Each structure stands twice: as structure tokens, then as C-alpha cells.
Structure 1
Amino acid sequence: MTTTTARVAAVVAKWCQADAADLTADTRLEDLDLDSLSRLEAALGLQREFGVAIDDTRMNDAETIADVVDIVETSPAKVADGS
């Protein structure tokens, strides 16, 4: 598992009460019972962890941990809001 995949798995695991060590790139988010609110919370956690802006629609369309890794790796850096 790549470092990015492990970090994504750790963030996602927090929102589905799973053990990050049990998650792989092929783990289906559906199997983790991530509802839309949990996906939003996970997206916020990923934004904090990686400093990127996660598109909610892309996150809701993700099917696997690998899909989430792709979202993280292709998302633009989050712009500071000045506060």
C-alpha cells in the first residue's frame, strides 16, 4: 500500500469505525457503510490531511479507496481563506 493510500485509509477509517489496517485500495466504500454525511465528513478530513480542495460530487461518486486516492492526488491545493 502506498503512503498516500495508507493516509487516505486512515482518514476514511475514522468515519466508518473501521481498522485502517484492514482497508486496501480495492476496499469498496459501500462495504464500509459510508453514507453521504460520512463521505462529506471524510472529505473534510482529507482536505485537512492533504491540504487539497475535495469536490463533494467526486467524493460521492467514489466507489473504492483507490478512487478516493485518485481524487486526493488530482485535487487542487486548498487556497487559504485569509482568516
Structure 2
Amino acid sequence: MAEQLASVEERLVEIICKRFAVPADEVALDTPLRDMKVDSLATVELSLALQREFGVRFKPGEINSGHSLGDLTAMLQEKGAAS
């Protein structure tokens, strides 16, 4: 389980860095998305990227810029994200 969690976290960080041009040294699990310049419109794009990457769906507004990567990791795990 811990190994699966690490894999989800690593893939999530990779998505944030690549899709939103966030330097890896600015990404931390407790940092809110808004502090990484991921605004409300970008959360829609992020939701779609997570759906493609992990095979899970998010309801509109379920992801917001106040969520941290740790929050998103937990949400993905709850939805049964494939590692």
C-alpha cells in the first residue's frame, strides 16, 4: 500500500510539473495548488489529466485550488486510482 501511495504521489507531482510548468523544487505535498499557480480554471484541466492518468473521475468543483497534493493523493486513493 505504501508503495502504491508513493507511485501515485510521484505521478501526481510529474503531472503538476509538466502540465503547469511548476519547478519540482516548488512542489510539496502540503502546498496548496494556488501557491503553485494552479488556479480554478487549471483545476479543470488537472481533473481531466488525472482522469486520463489514473482512470478516475472527479465531479465538477471537486478539485479546487485550495487542495494540496497530499489532499489530491488521498482523493485519488479513495477513488481507487491505479498505480
| Structure 1 and Structure 2 fold alike (TM over 0.5) | yes
- Between the two structures, name the one with larger relative contact order (CA 8 Å, sep ≥ 6): 2
Gap regions ≥5 residues in structure 1: 78-83
Gap regions ≥5 residues in structure 2: none
Q: 1:10 aligns with which of 6, 9, 14?
A: 14
- How many pairs were matched up? 77
Show CA shifts across 1:64-83 (max 9, x none): 10111112112267xxxxxx
> Normalization by structure 1: what TM-score?
0.74
Q: Is residue 2:77 matched to residue 1:73?
A: yes
Give the 5 Å matches for 1:1-83.
2-20=6-24, 22-60=26-64, 62-75=66-79
Query: What is the RMSD of the two structures over their aligned residues, measured on CA atoms?
Result: 2.3
Cα distance in 1 for residues equivalent to 2:65 and 2:34: 11
Percent identity over the alignment? 29
> Normalization by structure 2: what TM-score?
0.74
Cα distance in 2 for residues equivalent to 1:27 and 1:4: 17
